[in-house]
Amino acid sequence: MHISASLSLAALVMASFTAQSQVAPQAQLATPQVAQVVAQTPPMGWNSWNYFAGRVDDKGIRAAADQVVATGMKDAGYIYVNIDDTWEGERDASGVLHPNAKFPDMKALADYVHSKGLKIGIYSSPGSKTCGGYAGSLGHEEQDARMYAEWGIDYLKYDMCSFIPDVMEKQAPNDKPAQMRLMIAAYSKMDKALKVTGRPIVFSFCQYGWDSVWEWGPSVGANLWRTTGDVTPEWDRIYAIVSQQEGLEAYAGPGHWNDPDMLEVGNGKLSLEENRTHFTMWAMLAAPLLAGNDLPNMKPEIKAILTNRDVIAIDQDRLGKQGARIYSDGEVEVWTRHLAGGALAIAVVDAGDSRYSTHPFHLNLHKLGLTGKQTGKNLWTGKTVELTDNMPLELASHDVLLVRVDKPNSQLQ
Ligand code: GLA
């Protein structure tokens, strides 16, 4: 968003909230917010849900923060430690939401995470209940946003869940377009509430891609938006999600990203190849990199994947241009991502399991807009590679070849 546009939006937001007199005196007196520069590259961090789900607690979040530092993940760029669902307790008579017994002191926890040089995220819903059945923010949006800011929260994942039956289906039965308008208004409401706090808070939309959120999300404050339903640690689900990202590349850019959901690297029974391909494709997609594994028990080979700086550099490339699928040949797909300084990342994925050396895949450089020999770096072996037109490539099932070519020889030259 342009700074001038966000400043005028800021003025409007301040005016409307002041008029409603719904904010606490200190918030009314707060300096009007300036443009919040967050998520200029896809957010990186760790989230509790994919591995711990309802077992997350204060101790686990502290341990995760410790591990993000100890494993070198922080140095590699992982900054947000995000508490997902199941932290919420009950609201008191003044409507203040208290954390449940698993989180005795949220402010102290935030201070601890910050003391490690990290940032902290939290989770809520525009409905009365979260997906896990805990208290959501419906009717308490400003109050909750203020509380997050007081705790020192840096990131909010806002998950639609019970807003569907609570509001959309109740207020607009059988009227999908009206339901979608209610949904958009709910996200906009929390965006304004967050902005009024004056604290830079990354706003993560979790409404599973409904109503082509990539088209309207950024205009109501989304820094990232889920494009699909939930990821699971299974190859078929991960590959299905990758396939659903095709065509969405136009909507991503600094400050606003497509979110194909959090990482499952290191979870379930994913093979090493599958973990590598999953991480590669999230980097090609300029996706948020939110690890979701059991950090205190992370295996060295998983740490090596999550901290591969060359691959992270693809994800975090400052141009912020999401990669695209250029062509496929049977179950082999070729994706490219244009990088700052004219470099190109090329990912060749063997999504199938039935191609053998009698019929290896042949790379077509012309389809990638390239001509002649390309010298690059294989980002998973660290070795220099040369790509030539029609060269045979043998890839194990569900494995990937990821090459960065800093000076591509393009057909236009
Ligand atoms: C939904 C979201 C998940 C997670 C759970 C928590 O399913 O998509 O990412 O936040 O809710 O209940």
Residues contacting residue 195 through CB under 8 Å, at least 6 positions apart: 9, 10, 13, 33, 36, 221
Span 148-185, pLDDT tens digits: 999 999 999 999 999 999 999 999 999 999 999 999 99
| Whole-number pLDDT of residue 298 | 98
233 CA from centroid of ligand 1 (Å):
14
Mutate to test the pocket of ligand 1, among 56, 87, 226, 230 (most ligand atoms within 8 A of CB): 230
CB-based contact 344:337 (threshold 8 Å):
yes
- pLDDT-derived band at 368, boundaries 50, 70, 90: very high
Q: Which two tokens stand for residue 412?
A: 């236009």
> How much is the pLDDT for 153?
98
For position 412, what pLDDT does the model report? Answer: 65
Which tens digit of pLDDT belongs to each residue from 57-102? 999 999 999 999 999 999 999 999 999 999 999 999 999 999 999 9
Q: Whose CA is nearest to atom 5 of ligand 1?
A: 131
Mean pLDDT, residues 242-253 taken together: 98
Judged against a pLDDT cut of 90, whether residue 367 lies above it is answered with yes
Mean pLDDT of the region 214-218:
98
Question: Among 51, 86, 159, 232, which residue has the most ligand 1 atoms within 8 Å of its CB, making it the best to mutate?
Answer: 159
Q: Residue 293: left if φ>0, alpha if ψ -120 to 50, beta else—which one? A: beta
Band (26; pLDDT cuts 50, 70, 90): very low
Evaluate whether 32 touches 10 at the Cβ level (below 8 Å): yes
Residue 352's CB is within 10 A of a number of other CB atoms, namely 14
Give 3-state DSSP helix, strand, coil % of the chain, rounded to 5. Answer: 40, 20, 40
**Which residue's alpha carbon is at the smallest distance from atom 6 of ligand 1?**
85
- Report the pLDDT value the prediction gives residue 261, as an integer from 0 to 100: 98
**What is the distance in A from the centroid of ligand 1 to the CA of 207?**
10
- pLDDT given at position 8: 34
How far, in Å, from the CA of 154 to the mean position of ligand 1? 19
- Distance (angstroms) between ligand 1 centre and the Cα of 85 equals 7
Can you tell me which atom of ligand 1 is nearest the CA of 208?
A: 8
Contact between 201 and 80 (Cβ < 8 Å): no
HEC-encoded secondary structure of 214-272 = HHHHHHHCCCEEECCCCCCCCHHHHHHHHHHCCCHHHHCECCEEEECCCCCCCCCCCCH
